[in-house]
Amino acid sequence: MHELGHLLRQLRDHESLREVSSRSGISHTYLGIIEKGIDQRSGNPVKPTPETLKTLAKAYNYSYEELMRKAGYLQESGEMYLTDTVLNSTPIELEEILQKQHVTYRGKKLNEIECKKIIDMLKLLLEE
């Protein structure tokens, strides 16, 4: 998480937290906490949601994928960790993940045919 805070401080450069707050819609207080990586009040590490990172990527005109990587949501290959934070904050279209991402099951990488079978099974199970 320290990497993310360091990167955000670099991106902010000489701008104040209030200036970034005004441009992004994220409170300057929370921006400062994200940059520090630890909530001073609780002492707990801070991991901004993917939605917050998307907002910051737009505000800084910077790669969303790189911010996700620095926050620990993505591996170097671009593979997403489906942590509780991701699952609880941002809707994920499962079919899109199965079609476009490298998906593993119990350590085995699923091929295109296996992913299509899963999509077909989900359609049958969740038929409206």
| CATH superfamily membership of 2-74 | lambda repressor-like DNA-binding domains (1.10.260.40)
The share of the chain scoring above pLDDT 70, in percent, equals 84
Pairing of strands 108-109, 104-105: antiparallel
Backbone Cα Rg of the chain? 18
pTM: 0.61
**DSSP per position, 62-86:** --HHHHHHHTTSB-TTSPBP--HHH
- Number of Cα atoms under 13 Å in the Cβ half of residue 36: 15
| Boundaries of every domain in the chain | 2-74
Structure tokens at 118: 């899963």
Model confidence over 59-95: pLDDT tens digits?
999 988 889 888 887 766 555 555 544 555 556 677 7
Q: How confident is the model at residue 108 (pLDDT cuts 50, 70, 90)?
A: confident
